[in-house]
Amino acid sequence: MQQLRQTLGAMQDWKLRVTHLIDHAAREHGSREIVSRWADGSETRTDWAGVRHDALRMTQALRRLGIKPGDRIATLAMNHHRHLVSWYGAVGVGGILHTVNPRLFDDQLEFIVNHAEDRVMLFDKLWAPIIERMKPRWPTVEHYICYDSSEPALHFEEWIGAEDGIAEWHDGDERDPCMLCYTSGTTGNPKGVLYEHRSTMLHALSAISPPVFGMDCRSVMLPIVPMFHAASWGLPWAGAAAGAKFVYSAVNDGAVLCDLMNREKVTCSAGVPTVWLALLQHVDTHNGSEIPPSLQTIVCGGSAMPRAMIERFMRAGLRVAHAWGMTETSPIGTTGAETANWNELTFDEQVTVKAMQGRPPFGVEIRCVDLGDPEKVLPRDGVTSGALQVRGPWIVKRYFKADADAVVAGQWFDTGDVGLIHPDGTLQLTDRTKDVIKSGGEWISSVELENAAVGHPAVAEAAAIGVYHPKWDERPLLVVVTKPDQQVSQAELKAWLAQHVAKWWVPDAVAFVDQIPHTGTGKISKKDLREQFREYVWDQVA
Ligand code: AMP
């Protein structure tokens, strides 16, 4: 053994487990505040030391319930400090934190909670109707705990209030799982991505670095990205490593966010383009309102950030970090980091750089391969586009409970995105191969919309595509060929679809056409269709 240690090197055993993050935050930045602004306007203030103490109490409370390492602990909640406490409390017991997206519809909620075999469900009172509805369909959930009320379940504060916080975190392997996030794909059931302590820790260290979020203990971060979305971009872990102050809002309204940012002197905030648009609209429509002057960095991702928005923030003197990533990539893949020649670029050229998806930080490798021949790696010439693949220590290898790996030879994961890489390494996304539409940061399956549409007796063929929408980034447009001598109105078709899919999935418009383009193999050519409707203006369609 002594011999072996020498061959391994002679440094200390310090496992890359995420509980070290909260220990560090509490020890070195214990009084740095964590502010929660609730829906009723009231606020709660705690700090990193308080979060750690409560997380330890939650760990004790979970042990008392018989929760064991490896068990799944679910949350169904907005952004607030109790939710943050639960992240660390769940991993503290050696459990796997499963953040559930309340915007999913019932069949998806049923699937993921059963697939995850969640034993505990922590939720906001706001989502009590979901809990009541889903309880009979979630047989694995043994314990329900409500964050903000003693009705209809045990109150979180009372639950952890019975404990003293004198406890130890569970100690396991750094490759143990710590978090599970589901991603809803094109067809079929959502897939779970199982993050490890090690992968999460490495991701957090990368996240705070200057080319990514650039956070330190002076930062005041307001994460608009929900804690149930792609691990909130890793911010709850990264923020602890940095010792940043956090400001959480349970409401993502432009007025509320501006007010909070001004009062708490927020320096950095992260969200999808839709929320930034709402904030800018608020600024534009309220006299005397301005982009909060304390803001220094805007992290925007989840969908392409529109050029005009980038320009607007940059003109206001802000640093824009336009990030690309996926649930499968923890989620940081690339960020709109400044290039080596940044200072020599004109303002317009700088905006052009930021409008692309940027470069990978250390730890992520990207490449594009030929769409028809995945063995053929494409040159980084800024013109040849292909399927984007990615690999690294925080990229998925195999989906939770899957029988086979999700990567091809060389550990490369196919992202379903299409893009090109410029000679300086900047990634530019141009399309996607996966059949999905991303609306306000949430996925809509084109295939399921099409299946529902062709179920209508008058529809011969239907294709759903995402078309640029100024508010939601993309909204579904349904392109339909009707059967000969059959007619159906847009309103009838929408009403039909509303019976089969979630309301927010229903296409905003239906375009009736004589024919839909097909590929050589007879499949609907989404690429051609997207091209055909690229300049589409929403209210022009009947
Ligand atoms: P999700 O797993 O829900 O986070 O979705 C990941 C997907 O969102 C990616 O594969 C892209 O299709 C899309 N996406 C994320 N960030 C960007 C971006 N900056 N620009 C364009 N698409 C993006």
Does some domain include residue 149?
yes
CA of residue 429 to ligand 1 center, whole Å = 10
Residue 94 Cβ inside 6 Å of ligand 1? The answer reads no
Task: Using the predicted structure, report yes or no on whether residue 148 has a pLDDT greater than 90.
Answer: yes
Which helix (H) or strand (E) segment holds residue 125: the answer is none
Does some domain include residue 9?
no
Write down the mean pLDDT value for the chain: 94
Does some domain include residue 539?
no
pLDDT score at 4: 58
Binning pLDDT at 50, 70 and 90, where does residue 46 land? Answer: very high
pLDDT score at 523: 78
Q: In this structure, what CATH number is given to the domain that contains residue 379? A: 2.30.38.10
Place of tokens 């020649």: 341
Does some domain include residue 141?
yes
Catalytic (active site) residue 183: yes
In this predicted model, what pLDDT tens digit does every residue of 230-246 receive, in sequence order? Answer: 999 999 999 999 999 99
- 372 vs 248 pLDDT, higher one: 248
Q: Name the domain boundary from 432, 449, 472.
A: 432
- With a pLDDT cut of 90, the percent of the chain lying above it is 80
Q: Do 474 and 326 lie in a common domain?
A: no
pLDDT score at 178: 98
Question: Going by DSSP bridges, is the β-strand pair 473-482/509-512 parallel, antiparallel, or unpaired?
Answer: parallel
- The mean pLDDT of 195-200, rounded to a whole number, is 98
**Residues with Cβ < 8 Å from 175, sequence gap 6 or more?**
196, 197, 198
Q: Which of 64-73, 275-284, 426-435 has the highest mean pLDDT?
A: 64-73
Q: Do 386 and 526 lie in a common domain?
A: no
Q: Do 164 and 262 lie in a common domain?
A: yes
pLDDT score at 447: 83
Distance CA 334, CA 331 (A): 9
- The mean pLDDT of 305-327, rounded to a whole number, is 95
Task: Using the predicted structure, report yes or no on whether residue 541 has a pLDDT greater than 50.
Answer: no
According to DSSP, residue 505 is labeled G
Catalytic (active site) residue 44: no
Q: Name the domain boundary from 354, 376, 394.
A: 354
Task: Using the predicted structure, report yes or no on whether residue 28 has a pLDDT greater than 60.
Answer: yes
- How many degrees, rounded to 5, is the angle at CA 186 between CA 182 and CA 192? 15
Q: Do 214 and 130 lie in a common domain?
A: yes
pLDDT score at 3: 58
In this predicted model, what pLDDT tens digit does every residue of 320-333 receive, in sequence order? Answer: 999 999 999 999 99
Q: Do 306 and 411 lie in a common domain?
A: no
Q: Do 110 and 191 lie in a common domain?
A: yes
pLDDT score at 185: 61
Least confident of 199-213, 431-445, 461-475: 431-445
Residue 302 Cβ inside 6 Å of ligand 1? The answer reads yes
User: Is 330 within 8 Å of 181 (Cβ atoms)?
Assistant: no
Does some domain include residue 542?
no
Does some domain include residue 312?
yes
User: Is 224 within 8 Å of 246 (Cβ atoms)?
Assistant: no
User: Is 473 within 8 Å of 303 (Cβ atoms)?
Assistant: yes
Distance CA 211, CA 209 (A): 6
Show the domain range for 196.
19-354
Q: Do 191 and 290 lie in a common domain?
A: yes
pLDDT score at 542: 37
Residue 230 Cβ inside 6 Å of ligand 1? The answer reads yes
pLDDT score at 2: 57
Residue 326 Cβ inside 6 Å of ligand 1? The answer reads yes
- The mean pLDDT of 432-437, rounded to a whole number, is 86
Catalytic (active site) residue 14: no
CA of residue 284 to ligand 1 center, whole Å = 28
Q: Do 333 and 370 lie in a common domain?
A: no
Q: Do 169 and 46 lie in a common domain?
A: yes
Q: In this structure, what CATH number is given to the domain that contains residue 458? A: 3.30.300.30
> Which atom number of ligand 1 is nearest to the Cα of residue 357?
19
pLDDT score at 97: 98
Total of domains in the chain: 3
pLDDT score at 105: 86
pLDDT score at 52: 98
Q: Do 426 and 526 lie in a common domain?
A: no
Task: Write the CA distances from 275 to 81, 224, 249, 305, integer angstroms.
Answer: 21, 8, 13, 11
Does some domain include residue 14?
no
Q: Do 271 and 342 lie in a common domain?
A: yes
- The mean pLDDT of 510-516, rounded to a whole number, is 94
Q: Name the domain boundary from 354, 385, 402.
A: 354
Residue 444 Cβ inside 6 Å of ligand 1? The answer reads no
Q: Which of 191, 303, 443 for mutating ligand 1's site (highest number of atoms within 8 Å of CB)?
A: 303
CA of residue 468 to ligand 1 center, whole Å = 14
Binning pLDDT at 50, 70 and 90, where does residue 186 land? Answer: low
Q: Whose CA is nearest to atom 7 of ligand 1?
A: 326
Task: Using the predicted structure, report yes or no on whether residue 452 has a pLDDT greater than 50.
Answer: yes
pLDDT score at 429: 94
Q: Do 259 and 173 lie in a common domain?
A: yes
Q: Whose CA is nearest to atom 20 of ligand 1?
A: 304
Task: Look at residues 284, 344, 290 and name the one whose alpha carbon lies nearest to residue 318.
Answer: 290
Mapped to the 3 state alphabet, what secondary structure does 274-292 carry? HHHHHHHHHHHHCCCCCCC
Catalytic (active site) residue 438: yes
Does some domain include residue 11?
no
